[in-house]
Structure 1
Amino acid sequence: MNPIPPWLSTLADSARTMPIPRPMRPPERGGRESAVLILFGETDRGPDLLLIQRKDGLRRHSGQPAFPGGRIEPTDVSPEAAALREAEEETGADPAGIDVVGRLPELYLSFSDFRVAPVLGWWREPSEVRAADTDEVAAVSRVPIAELASPANRVKVRYGDGRMWGPGFRVDDMLVWGFTGKIVDLLLTLGGWELPWRERGLTEEFEATPQGLRPVG
């Protein structure tokens, strides 16, 4: 049994009122309701996050790393229930061993018109995880916070019309970027894990294209 650590309770308190970047603010109306599970655990490598790698060829977010999650169904009694259900379906994580700690403010994913409820969870009793939904998930990883925070693993990604830049993270054979990368970046700040970026010129930069990410320069 692993009780909720004080640092996660503090992070959850800060997350409730955190400022939302303008591109991630939901519109007044519209958008499909969804939820993701931001699941923190701990191993001998310190705190970590559960991430999935989506399969190539999907209609939305093909090949991208993400938090487990998806659309809120009519049978879900709450966003928290939807996030736990999706995590179990996608990774096999047992909801009985997960404590819901809180929720970030609602965010908006304009590319797919999703209003996203990011649910914070603590892995009180970790269970084995795998790519349980093989139609959508290619791989599942527990990524240490220390690796996400390391300046050596941080990159910049250009996307949209080419004028927008966002944070990226090279971890566990994945390049975490886009919506998930922005949330990870916010969590590093809220949790007090953020470290200074490498000097300009030493930071890798990528551009998102229809064919995937390509190095800039």
Structure 2
Amino acid sequence: MSDLPGYNTELQPERAPRWMEPLVEGVAHAHGHPDVQGVDIRGRGNTRPDGQRAAVLILLEGADTLSRQRPDDAAVLLTHRSPTMRSHSGQIAFPGGRMDSTDLNPVDAALREAWEETGLDRSSVTPVAELDPVHIQASGYPVYPVLGHWHTPGEVGVASPAETDEVFLTPIAELIDPANRLTVGWAGWSGPAFTVNDYLVWGFTAGLLSALIHESGWEQEWDRARTLDLHATLEKSRNNESHAPGVRFSR
């Protein structure tokens, strides 16, 4: 199936299922959460001068009947970036990438990138919210996270092997589970992380997930007191991050 550029590009928060309402409401406060601020370098003079921007799609699947308090059967779509990529190689990421001049807005860009990477049918998605842009030091791009509900789940997979080598749904319950949460650190920086499918989710992706889980009220108490070495933790994972960690975060 081909993509539909320019289609389904307006936010429709009123169409979010009831269980996603706390998440949509929490978007307004997520950017101020420490876990997002830890990867945002706004005001540090590192934004690219060429005006390039990027967008990612935080796509959640779940039936309308799930509980607001804890949507145990909901899941989020994640990708494993190919270890041969020049940037963020081997990392777990949301579908996304640089905005093109033909993209109408960040929603259009996020849906296009998701189609290019996973084959996602944009007509199966309801875009419900957009977070403030996050500036990442590795690229200097302002990245616009777009929150969407996958109201009609369909087939997805690796559509661009040069960019991703695995596409999978991770249950929200696994991300909430304290047993899968940890803090990792490197060279004075530390931030939240998750273990899923023997992968380590850290950096930008983990920061957004952690902030959204907290702001939605779904978070459970987990051990924040211990910080594990990022390099050592990555070596035990199957990320295969060939440039790990080439990203420098705010300190």
In the superposition, the TM-score normalised over structure 2's length comes to: 0.76
**Number of the residue aligned with 1:26:** 42
The aligned runs of 1:121-160 (5 Å cut-off) are 121-159=148-186
**Number of the residue aligned with 2:249:** none
Partners of 1:56 and 1:204 in 2: how far apart?
25
Q: Secondary structure at the match of 2:190?
A: strand
User: What is the aligned counterpart of 1:59 among 74, 77, 86?
Assistant: 86
Partners of 2:132 and 2:173 in 1: how far apart?
25
User: What is the aligned counterpart of 2:230 among 197, 202, 207?
Assistant: 207
**Number of the residue aligned with 2:59:** 39
Partners of 2:234 and 2:81 in 1: how far apart?
15
Q: Secondary structure at the match of 2:20?
A: helix
Residue deviations 1:61-86, cap 9 Å, x none?
01000000000000101100000000
Q: Secondary structure at the match of 1:24?
A: coil
Preserved CA contact (<8 Å) 1:54 1:63? yes
Unaligned runs of 5+ in 2: 1-14, 67-71, 237-251
**Number of the residue aligned with 2:209:** 184
**Number of the residue aligned with 1:195:** 220
Partners of 2:95 and 2:39 in 1: how far apart?
22
CA drift at 1:28: 8.1
Unaligned runs of 5+ in 1: none
Whichever residue aligns with residue 42 of structure 2, its letter is P
Preserved CA contact (<8 Å) 2:22 2:217? no
Larger RCO of the pair (alpha carbons < 8 Å, separation 6+): 2
Residue deviations 1:128-161, cap 9 Å, x none?
11111111101011000110111111122113xx
**Number of the residue aligned with 1:171:** 196
Percent identical pairs in the alignment equals 38
User: Number of aligned pairs?
Assistant: 207
In the superposition, the TM-score normalised over structure 1's length comes to: 0.87
CA drift at 1:214: 4.0
CA RMSD of aligned residues (A): 2.2
Preserved CA contact (<8 Å) 2:39 2:203? no
CA drift at 1:13: 2.5
Whichever residue aligns with residue 205 of structure 1, its letter is L
Partners of 1:55 and 1:12 in 2: how far apart?
31
Distance change in 2, residues 1:198/1:16 (3 Å): closer
**Number of the residue aligned with 1:15:** 27
Is 1:92 matched with 2:112? no
